[in-house]
């Protein structure tokens, strides 16, 4: 089957300017780009007119929570992947802190089968480092890899025992697999809901200190150096962690890292006095100096990629208040517009830079065949309307979650069409296909 995407805008990485081109897709793969000044022969082909819209490789999100199995009241693989498609994401990697935990080949297979049957986009499952994410016994890494897991993580909790983490890293390295770490020392965070900063002091709350994250980052960089494993740091949020990652990279440790939009856009000083739990996430919003450190680290390459940490919860759960509500916010449907409006429209970043951090860079870090639109690559594509301004309206989300601090924000850069493997899976006009 032939599909032509006509009159789309692409970014010239050398000039940073957009250029009009046509894209031909054959049998689910990119075939060729042609001169936008000359209309091709489209007889017998499916035609999509992308006039005025950016044509990009589909976005990649290597840190998401689909909640299924076990927490289907928060999200399902079907609703989560539909939300991802609406946000322009075509490949997502889901965390294993479900119930049951994704810690056996059967649960990996369950996720993959559900995604194949009901998912709108590509789903790559992580498996747990330890059984039930309890930190006591390693899972069967070899069997989990064979079942289709793409890496190992106990996301949601940090691996507290250093010897357990070292053993996990050594085993993962022997299998050519990465270890993805939620970095948090439990002894420093128990009972706290926000960062140890201005908001916590103002409201008399126990705070989560920066060092609770950085202690594990430093420990694990040393363990990665000792074992040789590819070590990836989840949702970096502190200046201290960044210093340690920068040092690890400088001495040749195979360490990569990620950052979320909310840690690039918001600080604890932005949290409203209403104690709205839609501002509660883990890691928490940090001080303004940490926000700027995260931005600079992403710009210089110390932080490699952007992820959403999409974490839906029910409205009832979030209504429990700042101290009792669960951590987490949704991210699929707002990530690109937030970053485009904040950083590209203002001139701090180029469009090419933002796209690379959300497409080709995650593909490079995790060895994926997606994230590019060169001939032969999968036709995973998003069309984005860069000029249309819209308001963030949680009631229109496809995710089950409404938990976002960005409600009411007016943003540019909204996806208009998402394609996976040459098949249109979502359009602004018609929704999920």
Provide the annotated active-site residues: 309
**In a 10 Å sphere around its CB, with 0-12 CB exposed, 13-18 middle and 19+ buried, how is residue 43 labelled?**
exposed
Angle at 54 between CA 50 and CA 58, to 5 degrees: 100
DSSP string computed for 37-102: TS----TTSEEEE-TTSEEEEPEEEEEE---TTT-TTT--HHHHHHHHHHTTEEEEEE-S-SSS-S
> Dihedral angle at the C-alpha atoms of 406, 413, 343, 365, nearest 10 degrees?
100
Q: CA-to-CA distance for 167 and 386, rounded, in angstroms?
A: 47
Other CB atoms within a 10 A radius of the CB of residue 385 amount to 19
Cβ(140)–Cβ(110) below 8 Å: no
In 3-state terms the chain splits into helix, strand, coil percentages (rounded to 5) of: 35, 25, 45
Angle at 170 between CA 164 and CA 175, to 5 degrees: 125
Q: Which two tokens stand for residue 310?
A: 């999409």
The closest alpha carbon to 96, from 9, 203, 179, 162, belongs to: 179
Characterize the bridge pairing of strands 410-420 and 381-391. Answer: antiparallel
Other CB atoms within a 10 A radius of the CB of residue 254 amount to 17
Angle at 430 between CA 67 and CA 377, to 5 degrees: 70
> Dihedral angle at the C-alpha atoms of 326, 327, 330, 336, nearest 10 degrees?
170
């Amino acid at each position: 089957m032939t599909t032509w995407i006509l009159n789309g805008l692409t970014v010239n990485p050398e000039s940073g300017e957009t250029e009009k081109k046509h894209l031909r897709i054959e049998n689910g793969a990119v075939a060729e780009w042609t001169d936008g000044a000359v209309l091709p022969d489209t007889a017998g082909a499916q035609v999509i007119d992308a006039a005025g819209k950016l044509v990009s490789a589909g976005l990649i999100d290597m840190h998401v929570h689909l909640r299924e199995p076990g927490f289907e009241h928060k999200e399902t693989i079907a609703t989560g992947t539909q939300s991802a498609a609406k946000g322009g994401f075509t490949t997502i990697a889901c965390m294993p802190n479900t119930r049951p935990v994704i810690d056996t080949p059967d649960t990996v297979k369950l996720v993959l089968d559900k995604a194949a049957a009901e998912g709108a986009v590509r789903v790559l499952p992580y498996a747990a480092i330890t059984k039930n994410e309890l930190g006591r016994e390693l899972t069967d890494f070899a069997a989990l890899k064979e079942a289709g897991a793409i890496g190992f993580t106990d996301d949601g909790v940090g691996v507290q025992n250093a010897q357990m983490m070292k053993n996990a890293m050594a085993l993962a390295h022997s299998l050519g697999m990465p270890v993805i770490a939620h970095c948090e020392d439990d002894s420093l965070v128990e009972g706290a809901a926000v960062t140890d900063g201005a908001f916590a002091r103002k409201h008399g709350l126990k705070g989560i200190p920066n060092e609770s994250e950085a202690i594990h980052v430093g420990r694990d960089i040393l363990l990665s150096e000792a074992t040789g494993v590819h070590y990836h740091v989840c949702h970096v949020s502190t200046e201290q962690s960044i210093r340690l990652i920068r040092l690890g990279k400088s001495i040749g440790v195979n360490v990569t890292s990620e950052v979320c939009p909310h840690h690039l856009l918001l600080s604890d000083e932005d949290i409203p006095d209403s104690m709205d739990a839609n501002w509660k996430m883990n890691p928490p919003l940090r001080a303004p100096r940490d926000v700027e450190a995260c931005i600079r680290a992403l710009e210089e390459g110390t932080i490699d990629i952007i992820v959403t940490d999409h974490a839906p919860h029910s409205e009832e759960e979030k209504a429990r208040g700042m101290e009792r509500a669960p951590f987490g916010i949704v991210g699929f449907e707002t990530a690109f517009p937030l970053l485009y409006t904040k950083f590209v429209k203002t001139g701090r970043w180029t469009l090419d830079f933002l796209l690379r951090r959300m497409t080709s860079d995650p593909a490079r870090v995790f060895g994926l065949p997606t994230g590019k639109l060169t001939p032969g690559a999968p036709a995973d594509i998003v069309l984005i309307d860069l000029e249309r301004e819209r308001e963030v309206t949680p009631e229109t989300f496809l995710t089950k979650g409404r938990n976002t601090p960005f409600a009411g924000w007016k943003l540019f850069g909204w996806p208009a069409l998402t394609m996976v493997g040459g098949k249109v899976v979502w359009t602004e006009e018609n929704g999920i296909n």
